[in-house]
Amino acid sequence: DTEVTQTPKHLVMGMTNKKSLKCEQHMGHRAMYWYKQKAKKPPELMFVYSYEKLSINESVPSRFSPECPNSSLLNLHLHALQPEDSALYLCASSQQDRAQETQYFGPGTRLLVL
């Protein structure tokens, strides 16, 4: 089983809303990732969690707040977003937090900020 699940699939929010994106994997992977992807562009790394601890933050604005409650779950809390934050948000996981490890992606959450 190489499945990473994400909810919700679609999300529309206003600039004053607070919402959360959820990601789950049951492959026993110890590294989990959040990516942001604009149309027809490759994914851009936002955060990396390794063994439930934040290991990389790619200078992401504080209106994005990641959380890793346990080894299977990864959340991304959203607050006071801007329209330019509209994108596909992808979660991924890998066996270990090493760059040569293959990452498995979820289906993504399509976010629209109005």
Partner 1 sequence: TQLLEQSPQFLSIQEGENLTVYCNSSSVFSSLQWYRQEPGEGPVLLVTVVTGGEVKKLKRLTFQFGDARKDSSLHITAAQPGDTGLYLCAGAEGETSYDKVIFGPGTSLSVIP
User: Could you list the residues that contact partner 1 (CB under 8 A)?
Assistant: 2, 4, 6, 40-43, 45, 48, 50, 55-56, 88, 90, 92, 96-100, 102-108, 110
Indicate the residue among 80 and 95 with the shorter CB distance to partner 1: 95
Contact 25, 104 (CB under 8 A): yes
CB of 80 to partner 1, least distance (A): 25
Q: Are 89 and 77 in contact (CB under 8 A)?
A: no
| Nearest distance from C-beta of residue 92 to partner 1, angstroms | 8
Which one, 81 or 90, has the nearer CB to partner 1? 90
Whole-number minimum distance, CB 4 to partner 1, in Å?
Answer: 8
3-class secondary structure, 43? coil
CB distance 56 to 70 below 8 Å: no
Q: Please tell me the number of Cα atoms within 13 Å of 42 on its side-chain side.
A: 2
